[in-house]
Amino acid sequence: AQSVTQLGSHVSVSEGALVLLRCNYSSSVPPYLFWYVQYPNQGLQLLLKYTTGATLVKGINGFEAEFKKSETSFHLTKPSAHMSDAAEYFCAVSYGGSQGNLIFGKGTKLSVKP
Amino acid sequence: GAGVSQSPSNKVTEKGKDVELRCDPISGHTALYWYRQSLGQGLEFLIYFQGNSAPDKSGLPSDRFSAERTGGSVSTLTIQRTQQEDSAVYLCASSSGDPQYFGPGTRLTVL
């Protein structure tokens, strides 16, 4: 079965440090790829997406992710963490193109220390 | 503009009762999805509606779960004879292509 793996259920960084959240998918067929963020007691908000074209995609709040087909990865990064980045982050894939249902990773909870 | 709305925001019910959860998608979005978020299982796809096509029900966990979408807009997810393992946050999303926009969810607690 197709799956999404997020390495590390909990990541802690200091304010100003690099944020790196890892995501790998299982299929050799490149899916559409998404990162969503969920703040406490809120719904999911789209951070960024990759469908086709440029493999480095930029999203909101200074986040970016790079699609690497050879590694079946779509890791999320931000050069400098801010306290407001503390949230849970979900990587998701769609194999049905623009209308497919999403398969989610288990999520990574990001903590930011002052 | 208005986003995806869901009601109620919280629902507490007793085991064995039926519940209905409502989703109002973004106006004009042809696709509507239901997902479930629980501690043990993470985020799981339940069902997908696209226009007037037959829905994709492949994610429904049992025949106690059903959903309908009236007039290509509002959707209702019904859970019959609720069980404690149905306790979760039920999320609705809509789209007109990608990406999917999510509502705030309904937190269901089955006692």
Query: For residue B79, with 0-12 CB atoms within 10 Å meaning exposed, 13-18 middle and 19 or more buried, which class applies?
Result: buried
A101 touches chain B (CB under 8 A): yes
A11-53 confidence digits (pLDDT tens): 999 999 999 999 999 877 778 999 999 998 788 999 999 988 8
B78-103 confidence digits (pLDDT tens): 999 999 999 999 999 999 887 899 99
Between chains, do A102 and B100 touch, taking CB under 8 Å as contact?
Answer: yes
B29-66 confidence digits (pLDDT tens): 999 999 999 987 789 999 999 988 889 999 999 999 99
CB atoms within 10 A of CB A90: 25
Angle, CA of A95, B66 and B96, to the nearest 5°: 40
**B11 pLDDT higher than 70:** yes
Between chains, do B33 and A101 touch, taking CB under 8 Å as contact?
Answer: yes
